[in-house]
Chains A and B, each alone.
Chain A
Amino acid sequence: MLASFVTDPNFRAVLYIISFSLFIYGLSGLTGPKTAVRGNRLAALGMAIAVIATFLYDEVNNIPLIVAGVVVGTVIGVPAAKMVKMTAMPQMVALFNGVGGGAVALIAWVEFRESGGYAHVPTYVAIFSLFSAIVGSVSFWGSNIAFAKLQELIDGRPRTLGPLQIPVNAGLILAAVGLAAAIVAGSHNELLIILLLIAAALFGNLLVLPIGGADMPVVISLLNAFTGLAAAAAGVALDNTALIVAGMLVGCSGTILTQQMAQAMNRSIGSIIAGGFGGGGSAAASADTSGGTVRATSAADAAIQMAYARQVIVVPGYGMAVSQAQHAVREMTKLLEEKGVTVKFAIHPVAGRMPGHMNVLLAEADVPYDQLKEMDEINGEFGRTDVSLVIGANDVTNPDARNKPDSPIYGMPILNVDESQSIIVLKRSMSAGYAGIDNPLFTNPKTSMLFGDAKQSVENIIEELKAL
């Protein structure tokens, strides 16, 4: 009796309803820092329920194989998630996203094989399954390239095929869609779906290769949305409501995130995909030196300047992340606060490599949440600020975005660092940022530069502050 109850399709459907309700409720918890941890755990609980429900059939096959797959996945996934440094988080998300896309594509391939090239299933199943195959394959390969670029396994600079880029990409997508159409029309040769997966894979590679570091978060977000949509399509093909709801939720959130990120950079998603800033290499190559003079300073001078300020605004960027300077920055701000200095953090929406990246790092270093100010909140305050300390941020402080209409980043909202009384910039060298363009902030007479690794520089400032 019990066995027939739990294997009733309606019981399974109810478990799926519980599980996707937990996804929705969990995601709504992610809207606030206080409820976010619980929200994430509720979503994980929903996932556990959905997985268990999937085993509740009268007759279950291949259990050892499934268990082996789950064990191998766990053995790879848990250490990867536990050991990854917070600074490497963006590429980890890209990698996890990629394998999800790969799973969708593989499932579609098996569906093709077991149905004799969709010969024994309704046409809509073939259409949704092939959609998931294409999008899953694009997501898998695109995410892997994003991972390789951020992990610096391959050069992060934009690489394009030049004028051929758009025709080649369009050709690959048309080829994939054409192959899908041929399969739906009744061709059952397995070679067709293999070619389809390869065309989508090449497209995924070419989609991400031309994209420079600064645009990478937007692309990861876009690929995240892709994988969600692919999962939803796979859900329709497999008649699985949990997959449909979960996939669609992700598809929508990814789309919203992608739009918000692109807006924050004043870029359209289309122009990001079309290629790197200013068509790539040429702008970057000529960027190193400009006419103005740069004033270098020492850690001792920087410490004195800040110690006698009323208000200091710290502007963190990717440079703080790469040198893992967040703990040193926290210690420095504590010392400044002991001296009666008000310290705030100005967080640009695209500082670092992901929205919220800086917040995660600073939270790791125990910087109180309410000290972190978003751009709109803090921009009015720079005029009243004695010292702005820019730590490894570049493009998000570039006044050209406000003043120079022919600049590639013109119109991008920036932090108005140049309005403060004085500016100290911590930077490794005079090289350009990811956008590969000059930053007149560095040659501003109010600006002094403290060259060197961000963490080392901050530690030097701490020593000087202690000595004061």
Chain B
Amino acid sequence: MEVSNLVSNLAILVLAGFVGYAVISKVPNTLHTPLMSGTNAIHGIVVLGGIVLLVLGAAEGFVNHLLLFIAVVFGTINVIGGFLVTDRMLEMFKTKPKDQAEAGDNA
């Protein structure tokens, strides 16, 4: 039972790797910084690890709670900070109508 669970998780792991490769290898150079920042936000999903251990009450006691509390704080910073920073960067790439007109004039 445990082994089959491991194997199905490994299958997901391998497939996710290939999906990541296929999706991400098409990103143009210019979007690499936002991409790095965006993927950085996504691995903030580790916050789930901290939350699930606390929700299940799997690890009680002061030290465990302290470590998981810090983990949740860290994970939240990673997620929220990551997405906001990426959003700010990407907003700047949005073409503003004003600029389109200007670009037309210059062309």
Give me the interface of A with B, judged by CB distance under 8 Å.
20, 23-24, 26-28, 30-34, 36-37, 39-41, 43-44, 47, 50-51, 54-55, 57, 59-63, 65-66, 68-70, 72-74, 76-78, 80-82, 84, 86, 89-90, 92-93, 96-97, 99-100, 102-104, 106-107, 109-111, 113-114, 122, 124, 220-221, 224, 227-228, 230-232, 234-236, 238-254, 256-257, 260-261, 337, 347, 349, 354-357, 359-360, 363-364, 366, 368-372, 374
Query: Contact between A100 and B24 (Cβ–Cβ < 8 Å)?
Result: no
Q: Is the CB of B64 within 8 A of A80?
A: no
Query: Do A27 and B23 touch (CB < 8 A)?
Result: yes
A445 smallest CB distance to B (angstroms): 32
Main secondary structure of the interface of B (DSSP, over half): helix
Report chain A residues within 8 Å CB of B39: 27, 224, 228, 249-250, 253-254
Contact between chains at A28 and B49 (CB < 8 Å): no
Does B21 lie within 8 Å of A252, measured CB to CB? yes
| Highest count of chain A CB atoms <10 Å: which of B32, B45, B73, B100 | B45
Report whether B85 and A70 are in contact in the complex, using a CB–CB cutoff of 8 Å.
no
Write the residues of chain B forming the contact surface with A, with a CB cutoff of 8 angstroms.
Answer: 2, 5-6, 9-10, 12-13, 16-21, 23-59, 63-65, 67-96, 99-100, 102-103, 106
What is the distance, in angstroms, from A91's C-beta to the closest C-beta of chain B?
11
A220 closest partner in B (C-beta)? B36
- Whether A96 pairs with B82 at a CB distance below 8 angstroms is yes
Main secondary structure of the interface of A (DSSP, over half): helix
Q: Given contacts A30-B27, A244-B9, A252-B24, is CB(A54)–CB(B48) below 8 Å?
A: yes
B30 and chain A: residue at smallest CB distance? A359
Q: Say how far A23's CB is from chain B's closest CB, in angstroms.
A: 6
- Is B64 within 8 A of A110, CB to CB? yes
B76 to A70, Cβ gap below 8 A?
Answer: yes
Give 7 A-B contacts (CB < 8 Å), ordered by A residue.
A27-B35, A31-B28, A40-B90, A47-B41, A90-B33, A231-B49, A252-B18
Q: Are A110 and B53 in contact (CB under 8 A)?
A: yes
Question: A37–B49 Cα gap in the complex (Å)?
Answer: 27
A27 with B38: CB separation less than 8 A: yes
* Residue on A nearest B76 in the bound complex, by CB: A73
Q: Can you name the residue of chain B whose Cβ is closest to the Cβ of A227?
A: B43
Contact across chains for A33 and B31 when beta carbons are under 8 A apart:
yes
CA distance A52 to B85 in the complex (A): 22
Q: Which residues of the other chain, A, contact B78 by a CB distance below 8 angstroms? A: 77, 96-97, 99-100, 103
Q: Which residues of A contact B34 (CB under 8 A)?
A: 30, 36, 40, 356, 360
